[in-house]
Amino acid sequence: MTPPEINEDMIERVTDVLQHESRAILAIPVNESFESATLLIHNRVHEKGGKLVTSGMGKAGEIAQNISTTFSSTGTPAVFLHPSEAQHGDLGLIQENDVLLMVSNSGKTREILELVHLAKRLHKGLPMIIITGNPDCELAEIVDVCILTGNPDEVCPLGLSPTTSTTVMTVIGDALIVLMMDKIGFTYEEYSKRHHGGYLGSKSREQAEGSSDTD
């Protein structure tokens, strides 16, 4: 099969996108909010036996789902709560010792604001964390920890579709997960217990066995 001719315009366009996203990641404000969020999650989950509950709407909700599943697979029990379903009974999965982590680029998402008020009514004093691009939003003022994305411009040609904003949200989630893994000393052996199947399960077991052989 004859390879297609190199389209220089397309290569340049892709490069522009990658550079745009890279700059946005490097511009994420790194401050005490990361440590505060890590300590709060550790206290509720690993000291008090609660869990991390993540939530978000639309694309932000998909990021929140990814954060919860990765936390769970790395030793910190977490679940995703859809903010709309929360109003129809699913709010009941939030327990007294849990911590709520919400993802909202605008910080004005109606369903997330409603979730906050419902959750506070269910469990007074429930600690909350928000990942947002809007430092002046109502959510930023009422939660315990606010982690800012830097509010980057979307790489979408229309400047509308969540693209760069979801990239930085994902990276922030990754940073929190790595900080927690460091704090609890998460090992290959523990990973293999939670991820048995597939390539990662096999690799983690091999690494765990290798670590035990060198002890």
Domain 28-184 listed as CATH 3.40.50.10490: yes
Question: Is the distance from CB of 152 to CB of 27 less than 8 angstroms?
Answer: yes
Q: Can you give the pTM of this predicted structure?
A: 0.90
Other beta carbons within 10 Å of 145: 22
Query: What pLDDT is recorded for position 118?
Result: 96
Among the listed residues 55, 58, 57, the one whose alpha carbon sits nearest the alpha carbon of residue 67 = 55
Question: Is the distance from CB of 52 to CB of 45 less than 8 angstroms?
Answer: yes
Residue ranges, CATH 3.40.50.10490, the chain: 28-184
- CA distances to 24, 29, 43 from 150, in Å: 8, 6, 27
Q: Which residue has the higher pLDDT, 204 or 77?
A: 77
Mean pLDDT of 3-18: 91
pLDDT digits (tens, 9 = 90+) for 92-149: 999 999 999 999 999 999 999 999 999 999 999 999 999 999 999 999 999 999 999 9
pLDDT-above-70 percentage for the chain: 90
pLDDT digits (tens, 9 = 90+) for 143-181: 999 999 999 999 999 999 999 999 999 999 999 999 999
- Say which residues have a Cβ less than 8 Å from residue 210's Cβ, sequence separation at least 6: none
